[in-house]
Structure 1
Amino acid sequence: MVSMKEIAKKCNVSVATVSKALNGYSDIGEETRNYILKTASEMGYLPNSSARALKTKRTFNLGVLFVDEARSGLTHDYFNHVLESFKSTAEAKGYDITFTSGNVSGRRMTYLEHCRYRSVDGVVMACVDFTADEVQELLLSDIPAVTIDHICDGRISVVSNNIQGMEDLVTYIYKKGHRKIAYIHGDDTSVTKNRLGSFYRTLQRLGIEEPDEYVKPSFYRDADLAGERTGELLDLKDPPTCILYPDDYAALGGINEIRERGLRIPEDISVAGYDGINIAQVLEPRLTTLCQDTAAIGRIAAERLIELIEHPKTTVIEKYTVDGTLFKGASVKTVYPPRGFK
């Protein structure tokens, strides 16, 4: 095993300088640090985790609290990509990740107890019920934390710009000539509230009065219920010309219901999703959707959490908003030439 002494000899510096470079201390030059890190990597140096923990008072282990009520686990397309980006960024900075479940060898622990048991330096929280007592206990603890898609007082948050994303999506559909736009929305979360509020506000700005029966409650990633709600919309005396779904996966349920009725997309009715998962771009026709920047969300969450761990006194607690991108696809038809809107 390569030692710091060997690296110091190779770089012609002291062992203390090598130690500072490998442990992230700021009192050496950036050029020297990069040279030492590059040399250590080329020599195959691997630090002893126990020794490093003793020196730095850190375990270089980040907790991930991810509780998907739909039980889709890491097959949850959106959060899977967010967490993959978080993981790769953390690993590049020398950190490992541990999933916090509250269960260890059959023994039930609270999330906070599990984080302390695993001695995590910090935790990222995504896709959880932020009102749950266990989650609140963790949020109120002294463990550094970053939340994803939820804003908490006193905590760094990284959120997708759902307000702007919904506005972009609705405006695009309006430009395609649609005036009867329905929305099947997700369950009661801050994400849903922002999207729903932006949906109504955008329609109001465009001069469209939305019938109550055009807005239907559902759940995220529930294709069956989305299909049911689609049927209810299609059975209306005056059905919509375009239906928006809470996410691309749920949109599949709506698409199946539409096709089972012998209708064509977009010739007979238009549809649009949200998230921008891979399947949206291989459907026929390709699904119009709002692509969230999962790579940026995961990267920023990891960077800010590590910054908070390593520089707690100078890290600013704030909200980071990440914009998405409209994918026009081919599932929204131009129904007639739009008038009075450029």
Structure 2
Amino acid sequence: MVSIRDISSKCGLSVSTVSKALNGYSYVKEETRRKVIETAKELGYVPNASARALKTNRTFTLGILFADDQHNGLTHLYFSHVLNSFKSEAEERGYNITFIHKRYGKQTITLLQNCKFRGIEGVCIACVEPDEPEVQELAGSDVPVVSIDYIFPGCGCVLSDNRNDMSELVRYVHSKGHKKIAFVHGTDSYVTQQRINGYVDTMRGLGLEIKREYMLESLYANPHTAKKATEKLLRMEDRPTCILLPDDVSAFGAIEAIREAGLKVPEDISITGYDGVVYSQLIYPRLATIRQDTGRIGREAAKLLIFNIKHAQNPNLVPIVIKGELLAEQSVGFAR
């Protein structure tokens, strides 16, 4: 079996330096750390987790709390990519990943108890109901927490630039001559509020009328509820010329409603999505959308959480905001 001494000999570094690089010590140079990790992979080194835990009194385990309201789990087209990049970054830095929940065997325990029992050093909170008492308890505990697209007091966070990205989307649609722009938004959340603010502020800034009947609610990542909302908009006497959907998956439901009404996208009505999932660019017409940088969001969340674990007395609580990219595609045409 390959040992740390083998890596030390191959790299020309001391055993102590190799050990610290593998264990994620912050004062090891990045170039040295990468050299050690690459050599370890090349030699097939597998660390003994039990021995490391005994030696360092640490588990090097990060928890992920993730439960979307549609129960998509790891099939979620957006968050699955975010969590995958989080996992890759954390593992590269020597950490293990586990999902936390309220059960231990047949027992029901709190989220915080789960973390304490399993020795979880820090938690990434993504896509949960933030007002749940157990989530609040975890966020307010001594366990370092980094949230995605939500701000908990005293915790680090990584945010998509939802407000400004939505503003850019509205301005793009307006540049195509659209003035009657409807917004089917998601259910109430921090993300939804930021997008509504971006929509409302930009519409006002462009001198466009904001009609209450043009603003409907739909579940995120749910084509069925998005289809129902779209059908309602299409039945209006003064129907919109463009509909903004809460996400790309929901846009599939809108397309179905439009086609069943005997209309075409974008000849008769334009639509946009949000998130930039891969399937949005494989359909015809390709979906105009905001592509969120899921890779960077996940990586930054992992790096921030590990930093705050190592600097528990002086954590970084400044929100990291990551801008999306406008994909000006075929589903938005010129307004008639």
What is the TM-score when the length of structure 2 is the normalising length? 0.94
1:80 aligns with 80
User: Could you report, residue by residue, the CA deviation over 1:256-275 in whole angstroms, capped at 9, with x for unpaired residues?
Assistant: 11101111111111111111
2:48 aligns with 48
* Distance in 1 (alpha carbons) for counterparts of 2:163 and 2:29: 43
* Distance in 1 (alpha carbons) for counterparts of 2:83 and 2:95: 14
* Distance in 1 (alpha carbons) for counterparts of 2:73 and 2:118: 21
- Return the offset for 1:31: 6.1
Are 2:23 and 2:94, in contact at CA under 8 Å, matched by a contact in 1? no
Percent identical pairs in the alignment equals: 49
> After the TM superposition, which residues 39-188 of structure 1 pair with which residues of structure 2 at under 5 Å, given as runs?
39-188=39-188
CA RMSD of aligned residues (A): 1.9
- Return the offset for 1:217: 1.5
The change in CA–CA distance for 1:87 and 1:281 in structure 2 (over 3 A counts) is same
2:228 aligns with 228
- Return the offset for 1:213: 0.8
Amino acid at match of 2:59: T
* Distance in 2 (alpha carbons) for counterparts of 1:29 and 1:225: 51
* Distance in 2 (alpha carbons) for counterparts of 1:236 and 1:35: 63
2:218 aligns with 218
2:241 aligns with 241
The change in CA–CA distance for 1:221 and 1:37 in structure 2 (over 3 A counts) is closer
**More displaced 10-residue stretch of structure 1: 215-224 or 259-268:** 215-224
Describe the SS at the equivalent of 1:46.
coil
- Return the offset for 1:194: 0.6
- Return the offset for 1:209: 1.3
User: Could you report, residue by residue, the CA deviation over 1:174-208 in whole angstroms, capped at 9, with x for unpaired residues?
Assistant: 00000000011100001000100110100000000
* Distance in 2 (alpha carbons) for counterparts of 1:240 and 1:31: 55
Please say if 1:286 is aligned against 2:286. yes
Residue ranges of structure 2 left out of the alignment (5+ in a row): none
> After the TM superposition, which residues 184-199 of structure 1 pair with which residues of structure 2 at under 5 Å, given as runs?
184-199=184-199
* Distance in 1 (alpha carbons) for counterparts of 2:333 and 2:11: 64
* Distance in 2 (alpha carbons) for counterparts of 1:164 and 1:76: 24
Amino acid at match of 1:182: A
* Distance in 2 (alpha carbons) for counterparts of 1:29 and 1:127: 34
Question: How many residues of Structure 1 are paired with residues of Structure 2 in the alignment?
Answer: 336
The change in CA–CA distance for 1:15 and 1:293 in structure 2 (over 3 A counts) is closer
- Return the offset for 1:223: 1.3
The change in CA–CA distance for 1:313 and 1:263 in structure 2 (over 3 A counts) is same
* Distance in 2 (alpha carbons) for counterparts of 1:225 and 1:20: 52
**More displaced 10-residue stretch of structure 1: 103-112 or 197-206:** 103-112
User: Could you report, residue by residue, the CA deviation over 1:41-71 in whole angstroms, capped at 9, with x for unpaired residues?
Assistant: 4333222111211222221111000011211
> After the TM superposition, which residues 249-260 of structure 1 pair with which residues of structure 2 at under 5 Å, given as runs?
249-260=249-260
- Return the offset for 1:292: 0.8
Residue ranges of structure 1 left out of the alignment (5+ in a row): 337-342
User: Could you report, residue by residue, the CA deviation over 1:92-127 in whole angstroms, capped at 9, with x for unpaired residues?
Assistant: 111111011212223222111111222111110000
* Distance in 1 (alpha carbons) for counterparts of 2:32 and 2:211: 65
- Return the offset for 1:328: 1.0
User: Could you report, residue by residue, the CA deviation over 1:261-308 in whole angstroms, capped at 9, with x for unpaired residues?
Assistant: 111111111111111111110111011111111111000000111111
- Return the offset for 1:219: 1.4
- Return the offset for 1:6: 4.1
Are 2:178 and 2:335, in contact at CA under 8 Å, matched by a contact in 1? yes
Describe the SS at the equivalent of 2:78.
helix
1:310 aligns with 310
The change in CA–CA distance for 1:266 and 1:58 in structure 2 (over 3 A counts) is same
2:264 aligns with 264
What is the TM-score when the length of structure 1 is the normalising length? 0.93
Are 2:24 and 2:94, in contact at CA under 8 Å, matched by a contact in 1? no
1:327 aligns with 327
* Distance in 2 (alpha carbons) for counterparts of 1:28 and 1:249: 43
**More displaced 10-residue stretch of structure 1: 119-128 or 302-311:** 302-311
1:207 aligns with 207
